[in-house]
Structure 1
Amino acid sequence: MIVHSKFAQRSSSSFEFEEGSSSSSELLEGPSSTSSTPGHTYDVFLSFRGEDTRHSFTDHLHKSLKANLIETFLDDEKIETGEDLKPELETAIKASRASVIVLSNNYATSTWCLNELVLILQQRKTSRHIVFPIFYHVAPTYIKKQEESFGVAMAKHKQKMEAETDATKRSEFAQKINLWKEALTQVAGLKGEHLNGSRGETEFIEELIKDISSRLRITSRSVLPQLIGRDNSKKFVTSWLKDAASSHTADILTISGMAGIGKTTLAKYVHAFHSHEFDSSSFIEDISGKCHNQYNGLLNLQKQLCDDISKPNSIQVHDASRYTSQIEKAVAFGCITWKQSFSSRKQNYSNNRVQMADKELCTIQDEYQLQA
């Protein structure tokens, strides 16, 4: 299998696959043994006040997350020991792609919860960590202004700080309180979900799971291809895709080879593992077949692609050229596009196409060629 690039005036690159080691029997379809994503141990870290929700809402949420293949960290420690955050909790937060923060009435009474909150929001700023605030029978304004139960909790922390006789510890405690206050104000300003009795918890959790799965791109995990004996191919394509090596200057990378040796599987694998790192993605299969066999097939595929990588538009478009223009604008603004199609001698379609910003990965069969 040869991997090469060729399209208009854009730069190209190539490398060679060892065809002999890529028989179809070595490419397995099915759930991956890797539950989260490279660089992360967990999908979600659950931050909650145990005495409020451990045996009710949080327990139900945790079970639902696991049932939907969302790898979740939940601290089983029921009694807090010490003021500082446990090292394993800090590690778990940093090893998670997202955090669900269950902001309940007594959340701020826990120094552990407050320290978790500070670190989670720091991760949000520095590591693309996604935050899902849940206002569990509390009003965001009380959290923002530290009123009601949140005001009482912060006042008790202040009293404890003022009672500290060691000047150094008192100063450190005062700094922590300031961080806690800033974090509470910040999280109250984030868009979150409100559970206040207007709908049942079961319905609420179902909607939350859908949102988490969508934001973290969990839906493709259950059918993630497993590549056996393809480590070098995965490393090369991933390196090129993420600009890990300065030598990868090609805009388009094309994988060609006979049917059944794993071109599509490789494209699916790369998409499943890296699409979550970008703001938007689209994976479209069998472009040529759908264009030939379906009424308005090309228009429908362009609409799907445009909807996936750009903001929803209520205006109906019935001209393929207008969708082409919209897609070009979306890509120009740094969206990523993942496309899969089937090659054709008469049309400039490729078997699989993956585009990140201004990069594109295509696969075609040997007997077909991309038109210049």
Structure 2
Amino acid sequence: MTSQSEHDVFLSFRGEDTRNNFAVHLYQALDRNGINPYKDDKELRKGEEISPALLMAIEESKISIVIFSENYASSTWCLDELVKILECKESKQQVVLVVYYKLEPSTVRHQEYSFKDALAKHEEKFKDDAKVQRWKTALNQVPKLCGFHLKINQDEYEFIEEIVQEVSTSLPNRFDLNVAENPVAIQSHVNYVIKTFLCIEENDTRMIGIFGSGGIGKTTIAKEMYNLIAKKFKDRCFLADVRESSKQNQGRLGQLQEKILSNIHSRIRVDDDHQGMELIRNRLCHKKLFWFSMMLIIWTN
């Protein structure tokens, strides 16, 4: 059984509204980008109380995404999830992102329309003012959270890409490479290269070579630069030991080309070097990416 602690993101959503469309599309997009999402797939739930497994999944996730849809408030499970998510935001500094799925933010904030009707039914059913008040208080806190508003007829694919990019940026040190702690004078060299040569804010293509005798820290500098910059890019790739890999494959680069393409797209087979060159040219020519290769750092637009 997979431990819930392995999940980066918890998705809270109303199944009947989004399970077979937006929620699953977002889940798949996160998964494709190397982000481990938790999505409750149970169609039928027993009882009114949220399960301990879901509470643990929320607690152990780094980010929670709340997908507000028309019938979200009709589910007591969803409302309990929201309360727990906000508790974890305060106690664990968990990042919380809100999605308004074809729903006006004011409907949630002021508990209007379907939200008002749902809460009225809960008050009548439970006769528990404290429980319903907790749900209302949680909904009132929504404006303080980072929100994404998907309007009717808006492009869902691009909208999901924005969320995935925000999640990638928010997850701490997801792409960090292992670097020795406190290497001597490394930071001054890293800062010098970044400020003097990279100029990331400029919208152009750059190639930088770091060279010198063995053991002086070239790779360490490159790794530290990668750690500092990779999160700014949607697509990124790190290739280590390029020279050795090339020698082992008698100078053929297909395996390395496959790794570059597979880091950015799904698994792609490269049969020979020439095919790999064409695939890289065609698949990556319109992408902004960060690419570290041996002693080279390259990014393209």
**TM-score tier (shorter):** 0.5 to 0.7
When residues 218 and 138 of structure 1 are mapped into structure 2, their CA distance, relative to the original with a 3 A threshold, is farther
Q: Which residue of 1 aligns with 2:135?
A: 180
Q: Which secondary structure state, in structure 1, belongs to the residue aligned with residue 100 of structure 2?
A: strand
Q: Which residue of 2 aligns with 1:109?
A: 74
| Deviation at residue 196 of structure 1 after TM alignment | 1.0
Instruction: After TM superposition, give the deviation of residue 284 of structure 1 in Å.
Output: 9.8
Q: Deviations over 1:186-223 (max 9, x none)?
A: 114423000012521111111111111111157616xx
Structure 2 CA distance for aligned equivalents of residues 176 and 52 of structure 1: 24
Instruction: Give the residue type in structure 1 aligned to 2:150.
Output: L
- Partner of residue 125 from structure 1, selected from 90, 93, 99: 90
Q: Give the SS at the match of 2:160.
A: helix
Pairing partner for 1:68 from 30, 33, 36: 33
Alignment of 1:261-280 (within 5 A): none
Deviation at 1:78, TM superposition (A): 0.8
Q: Which amino acid aligns with 2:167?
A: I
1:204 maps to: 159
SS at match of 1:83: coil
Task: Name whichever structure is richer in helix by fraction.
Answer: 2
Runs of 4+ in structure 1 displaced over 4 angstroms? 283-288, 341-344, 349-354
Equivalent-residue separation in structure 2 for 1:184 and 1:157 (angstroms): 14
Q: Say which SS state the counterpart of residue 119 (structure 2) adopts.
A: helix
| 1:147 and 2:44 are equivalent in the alignment | no
Q: Is the 8 A contact 1:109 1:154 kept in 2?
A: yes
Q: Tell me which residue corresponds to 1:338.
A: none
Tell whether the 8 Å contact from 1:105 to 1:149 is kept in structure 2 after alignment.
yes
Q: Deviations over 1:141-184 (max 9, x none)?
A: 1111111000000000011123xxxxxxxxxx321111100001
CA distance in 2, matches of 1:220, 1:285: 21
> Would you say the 8 A contact 2:105–2:149 is kept in 1?
no
Specify every segment of 5 or more residues in structure 2 that has no aligned partner in the other structure, as ranges. Answer: 203-209, 225-301
The answer to whether the 8 A contact 1:134-1:192 is kept is yes
The DSSP-based 3-state class of the residue aligned with 1:192 is strand
Percent sequence identity is 37
**Which runs of no fewer than 5 residues in structure 1 stay unpaired?**
1-34, 163-172, 226-232, 238-252, 257-266, 268-282, 292-296, 308-313, 315-340, 355-372
> Which structure would you say has the larger RCO, counting Cα contacts within 8 Å and 6 or more residues apart?
1
- Cα separation, partners in 2 of 1:286 and 1:190, compared to 1, 3 Å: closer
Amino acid at match of 1:216: L
Separation in 1, partners of 2:141, 2:195: 45
**Letter in structure 2 aligned against 1:299:** T
C-alpha distance in structure 2 between counterparts of 1:285 and 1:207, whole Å: 33
CA distance in 2, matches of 1:300, 1:72: 37
- TM-score normalized with structure 2 length: 0.61
Conserved in 2, the CA contact under 8 Å of 1:134 and 1:193?
Answer: yes
Q: What is the number of equivalent residue pairs in this alignment?
A: 214
The answer to whether the 8 A contact 1:133-1:193 is kept is: yes
Q: 1:351 to 1:180 in 2, by over 3 A?
A: same
Q: Quick check: 1:42 aligned with 2:10?
A: no
Matched, 1:299 2:196: yes
Residue 103 of structure 1 contacts residue 134 of structure 1 at CA under 8 Å; is this kept in 2?
yes
Structure 1: distance between partners of 2:7 and 2:112: 33
The one of 81, 93, 104 equivalent to 2:46 is: 81
The structure with the larger Rg is 1
2:272 counterpart residue number:
none
Tell me, in whole angstroms, the C-alpha distance in 2 between the residues paired with 1:81 and 1:136. Answer: 26
Question: Which residue does the alignment assign to 2:284?
Answer: none
Kept after mapping to 1: 8 A contact 2:96/2:146: no
Alpha-carbon distance, 1:285 to partner: 7.9
Partner of 2:17: 52
Q: Which residue of 2 aligns with 1:100?
A: 65
